Structures are given as C-alpha cells and as structure tokens.
C-alpha cells in the first residue's frame, strides 16, 4: 500500500498549509463572522465546536478528500460487517456489535454475535441485580458490600474510568475498587480492613494469561482463604470475565461464574462487554443499557454521516492535521467534570496503544508521525498547573475541552434556579479556549500600562487550536457517546495512516524480558546475568538492596 504522504490530497494539504500556516485564528475569525457556528457538528447528544482549529473551508475539503482517498467509508463498512480488519492478528473488530440492538443480527462464522452479546448482557444483569439487592450471599451468608475488579489495561482502564464517571448513578452502599498494578500495595490497600465474607472479586482478563492480573488474582484468593478457611468459598467470592474458559476453570472459577467475551473485542474497546460487569453492578443494568444506547447512537452517526458532517471522522482528521501538518506531538484532554478524572488515562490506552505504530498494515514504514501523546487532567485543576505551558510554552498542544450544561451536584442554596458553581466551572472552560485561540497582543498589553520590560512576559501569542465538546449532562448515555466518539476518531486516524489500530505488538518485548528477569530474581542462587552492562548492574544493585534490612 502507498504511504499516505504520496496521496494527492496529502500533497494538496502540504501546499495549502504553506498558505494557511501563517494565518492567525484571530484573522480566520475576523474574516468569517459565522465561523463559530459554521465549524460545528451535533450527534448522539454531543455538540462539537471545532472552529478554534487552524483550518478553513479548503482544509476541511482536503481532509475529507484524503479520507475518501484512504477508503474511510469502505473501512467503516468493513468494520461494521465484521470483516477481518485486524490483519496482523487475523481478527474481526466488532465492539460496535456489543451495543447493537437485539433483532439486528450480525453473522460471523455462522453465529449471530448480537444474540450472543445479549445473552451475556442478560446474565450480567441477573448477576448484578443479585449483588445490588444483597441476594447473592457470600460463603458466610452475608451480602456482598465490596467489589474488587482485578485486571489491567483494557480490563481495568475502561471500567475504572466508567465507575468514576458514573459514580453519581451508582448504588452507594456498594463499594467498588480497581486493582491493576502488580505492586502488592494495590491489592493490600484495596483489601485493607475488608471482611472477605462481604467481598467479591471480578477477575477480568480477556486472555486470562496476563501475569499481573493472575498474580493479583492468586494473592486475592489467598487473602480470601486466610479469612474464610475453605476452598469452597472461592465459588461465592470470585467471578471471571474472559475468552479463556479453560484457564478460568483451572483457576477454580466454575463455568457459570465465567462471563465470556470474544476475540473480536479488543481489550481497549471492551468496556461495553462483560469487562464492564463492575460498571453494571455499580450503576445497574438500566443505566448500563443507557450507556450502550449512547455508544450505539454515535456508532450509527459514524456509519452514516458524510465525512464533512461526521463528528468522529472530523475529530480524527483534525488530529492528523495537527500532528502531521502543524507538528503537534501531544494532545491534551481537559474535561471540565470531576467525574471524568480518569478519562485522559483511559484515552491514553485507547489512542496510543491503537495508533502508536511506525509501520502500515503491510509492514512498510508509515512515513509520517502517528499517534499524538495523550495526556490531561480535569479543569480547573490543570489551570493551576500545566496550562502555563499551553498558553506560553514553545510547543503547540491542541486541546480537547469537554463540558456539560448541568452539573450533577448543584451547590446553590435551595431555590436557586442556577448552579453558580457550575457556571464558574464552565466560565473557566470558555475562558481557556478563548485565551488559547486569541491570546493577547503586545499592543493590548501596553494599552494596559504594563511596564515595557514585562511586555514580552505578558503577551499571549494565541493561535493554539482546540476542540470543545458539550453535552447536556454527564449521564450514562452521554458517556457512551463520548467513548464511541473517541473510539471512532482513533479508527479514522488509523485509516489515514494505513496502520492496524487493533493489534499491540509493541507491548510484547517488555513482557518477555520481564518474565526472563523475574526468573533470575526468583532464583536465590543469584545466577549469572547476561543482559547489557547497565541492566546487569541494576539487577545486581537490586539484589544487594533486597538483602539489606529496610
Ligand atoms: O499488554 C497489553 C494488553 O494486551 C492490552 O491490550 C490489554 O488490554 C491488557 O494487556 C490486558 O489483557 P488481558 O485482558 O488479556 O489481561
């Protein structure tokens, strides 16, 4: 396949960039009074304003042409049809089937996967209801009060993010925790002071072969048995989510306590599957289905809308423009919602594990920069930390602002019709994107009577691009739409760069080396080391340190 940079639309974008590159957002807005409403799109209850990007009509035209040239429509259709688009792993990519309605069958190898999905959703719902109602009794006859999800990567980040994001809708007498790190501190702190008789572990691992998860699951099992003194207790206190029935059975989890998913669900795309069991226990099946409906609404929009009006496609194309033409290497995600505090971490895996790649699907070099480095924190906290760099640093950092029309915890006095604290939060969001785009010129600074020596310090050059996403309220539906929006934006970027967004070979080497090193550390005979001189010396130093008493 041809590298994207050889396509005529790419060449067109390069020439176009040479013309528009020096144009300030101030000029673009001055030239078009309608700009702030022209470059917007609504879908699935979300509103995207992308007018504060360094683009004009020609940019959008070239980007849409590029998407057509790269076969975006065809790739979308192939994904929804269940074709094997993850070619390096020979898998279909069907997270959209996880939120498809019953009665819209999708046949894969003679099986209706949508019917399969709904059968598992029903099992999850029945189990969740039992836990929520206190009807599921633990080994000592007590109801479950603590749920600990053990998993890592996609088996942790999605559910942990969703639990935080939808905490407002959660059943508050159930306490949920997430253990991912193989650092024993994670499990020790999560279980500290808990009664094992009231604690349920959900062991989430698509492969059921991930060392961190299995190690934590074994430790959790040992912790439970230290209190419950009976192997039979495992059946009441452990459930699994996996594609690997054999391995879960070997762990001691009976088939009826195993919630399946399928190889066509990628780990980082799995929060709508049984990997979301903890989410469903927290918020209940009805809210979980609302989340799926939000995802589905965005899926349908992505599948149907023309590129120029397609929210995820536009966001993905803008990411390509910012990365490859404006030279931005990172992307800040700034939710003005405390509940979305884990959203940037979730997006890191979604974006960087999907598109952090240097070769195309056929193995040839991509030939341009790929995934931006994603990072962020909720506003307004970030404003008092790293926003200095966003406004006056030497690097260009495109920002996604996310805000809502209503907060979920109004702070006004009874009878106040307006949530002043939420207004203040949103005022900050609007102020930040305005300041980034328009800045403050030296003459504006001087007009304020600022001492000449300080003028350079007080200038904001502006011209820093951002998107703003608004929704009415952070509901399960809105979260679902937001997640699907980013999933499909990442998909779009992958299509443009010609890469397989659904494999993750880049994590393998570290895993193999860690296993080899773990064997060396476990051997108390301190075997000879054959790494490089730095790694050898570090391992030797570690061996010495662990001999010393703390
Ligand atoms: O190491 C990367 C990865 O394979 C992720 O893609 C995945 O989400 C995570 O590990 C966990 O995998 P599993 O669910 O199979 O334990």
pLDDT reported for residue 345: 98
Question: Does position 417 have pLDDT exceeding 80, yes or no?
Answer: no
Which of 247, 504, 505, 509 has most ligand 1 atoms within 8 Å of its beta carbon, as the pocket-test mutant?
A: 504
CA of 153 to the centre of ligand 1 (A): 5
Which among 502, 539, 528, 466 is positioned nearest to 78, based on CA atoms? Answer: 502
- The predicted model gives 388-400 an average pLDDT of 98
pLDDT of residue 46: 98
Query: Per-residue pLDDT for 415 more than 80?
Result: no
CB distance 280 to 128 below 8 Å: yes
Average pLDDT over residues 300-320: 98
- What is the predicted pLDDT for the residue at 411? 86
511 noted as active-site residue? yes
The set of protein residues with a Cβ atom below 6 angstroms from ligand 1 is 152-155, 205-207, 210, 213, 267-268, 353, 504, 507
Q: How many CB atoms lie within 10 A of CB 122?
A: 12
| Residue 42, H or E segment | strand 40-43
C-alpha–C-alpha distance, residues 93 and 244, integer Å: 18
Q: Which atom of ligand 1 is nearest to the CA of 353?
A: 6
pLDDT per residue as tens digits for the range 234-252: 999 999 999 999 999 999 8
Residue 114 has pLDDT above 70, yes or no: yes
pLDDT surpasses 80 at 57: yes
Name the residue of 89, 91, 149, 155 to mutate for ligand 1: max ligand atoms within 8 A of Cβ.
Answer: 155
Contacts of 110 (CB under 8 A, 6+ apart): none
Confidence of residue 224 (pLDDT cuts 50, 70, 90): very high
pLDDT at 416: 67
Is pLDDT at 414 greater than 70 in this prediction?
Answer: no
Residue 332: pLDDT over 70: yes
C-alpha–C-alpha distance, residues 495 and 491, integer Å:
6
Please report which helix (H) or strand (E) contains residue 505, including its range. none
Given the CA of residue 504, which atom of ligand 1 is nearest to it? 6
User: pLDDT at position 1, please?
Assistant: 84
pLDDT at 307: 98
pLDDT in tens, 487-513: 999 999 999 999 999 999 999 999 999
> Ligand 1 centroid to 323 CA: how many Å?
27
The DSSP secondary structure of 242-254, one letter per residue, reads ES-HHHHHHHT--
The pLDDT tens digits for 164-176 are 999 999 999 999 9
Confidence of residue 550 (pLDDT cuts 50, 70, 90): confident
CA separation for the pair 378, 383 (Å, rounded): 9
On average, the pLDDT of the chain sits at: 97
H helical segments located in 167-321: 184-191, 211-228, 234-237, 245-251, 277-283, 285-304, 311-320
Q: Band the pLDDT of 33: cuts 50, 70, 90.
A: very high
Q: What angle do the packed helices 285-304 and 476-497 form, to 10 degrees?
A: 40
Distance 308 CA to ligand 1 centre (A): 35
pLDDT value at 361 more than 90: yes
Amino acid 549: pLDDT:
85
């Amino acid at each position: 396949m041809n590298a994207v940079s050889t396509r005529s639309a790419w060449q067109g974008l390069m020439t176009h960039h040479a013309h528009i590159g020096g144009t300030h957002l101030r000029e673009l807005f001055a030239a078009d009074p309608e700009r702030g409403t022209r470059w917007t799109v609504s879908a699935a209850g979300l509103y995207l304003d992308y007018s504060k990007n360094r683009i004009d009509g020609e940019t959008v035209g070239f980007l849409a042409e590029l998407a057509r040239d790269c076969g975006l429509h065809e790739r979308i259709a192939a994904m929804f049809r269940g074709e094997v688009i993850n070619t390096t792993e020979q898998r279909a990519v069907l997270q959209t089937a996880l939120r498809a309605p019953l009665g819209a069958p999708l046949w894969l190898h003679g099986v209706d996967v949508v019917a399969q999905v709904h059968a598992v959703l029903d099992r999850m719902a029945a189990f969740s209801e039992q836990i929520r109602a206190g009807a599921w009794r633990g080994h000592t006859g007590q109801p479950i009060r603590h749920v600990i999800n053990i998993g890592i990567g996609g088996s942790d980040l999605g559910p942990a993010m969703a639990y935080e994001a939808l905490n407002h809708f959660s059943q508050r007498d159930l306490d949920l925790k997430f253990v991912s790190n193989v650092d024993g501190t994670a499990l020790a702190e999560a279980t500290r002071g808990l009664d094992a008789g009231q604690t349920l572990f959900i062991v989430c691992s698509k492969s059921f072969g991930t060392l961190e998860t299995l190690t934590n699951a074994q430790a959790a099992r040992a912790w439970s048995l230290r209190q419950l003194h009976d192997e039979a207790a495992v059946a009441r206190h452990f459930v699994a989510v996996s594609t690997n029935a054999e391995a879960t059975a070997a762990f001691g989890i009976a088939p009826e306590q195993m919630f399946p998913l399928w190889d066509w669900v990628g780990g980082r795309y799995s929060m709508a599957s049984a990997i979301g069991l903890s989410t469903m226990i927290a918020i209940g099946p009805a809210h979980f289905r609302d989340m799926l409906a939000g995802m589905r609404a965005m899926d349908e929009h992505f599948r149907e809308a023309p590129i120029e009006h397609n929210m995820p496609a536009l966001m993905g194309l803008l990411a390509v423009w910012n990365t490859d033409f404006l030279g931005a290497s990172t992307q800040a995600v700034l939710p003005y919602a405390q509940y979305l505090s884990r959203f940037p971490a979730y997006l890191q895996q979604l974006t960087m594990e999907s598109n952090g790649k240097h070769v195309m699907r056929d193995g040839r070099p991509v030939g341009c920069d790929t995934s931006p480095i994603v990072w962020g924190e909720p506003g307004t906290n970030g404003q008092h930390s790293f926003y200095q760099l966003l406004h006056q640093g030497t690097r260009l950092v495109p920002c996604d602002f996310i805000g809502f029309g209503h907060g979920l915890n109004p702070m006004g006095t009874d009878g106040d019709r307006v949530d002043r604290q939420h207004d203040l939060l949103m005022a900050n969001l609007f102020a930040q994107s305005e300041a980034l785009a328009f800045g403050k010129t030296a003459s504006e600074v001087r007009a304020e009577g600022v001492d000449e020596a300080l003028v350079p310090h007080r200038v904001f050059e502006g011209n820093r691009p951002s998107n703003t996403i608004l929704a009415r309220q952070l509901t399960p539906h809105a979260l679902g739409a937001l997640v699907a929006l980013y999933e499909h934006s990442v998909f779009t970027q992958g299509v443009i760069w010609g890469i397989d967004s659904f494999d993750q070979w880049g994590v393998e080497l570290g895993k193999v080396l860690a296993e080899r090193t773990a064997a060396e550390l476990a051997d108390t005979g301190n075997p000879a080391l054959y790494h490089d001189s730095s790694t050898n010396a570090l391992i030797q130093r570690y061996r010495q340190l662990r001999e010393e008493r703390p």
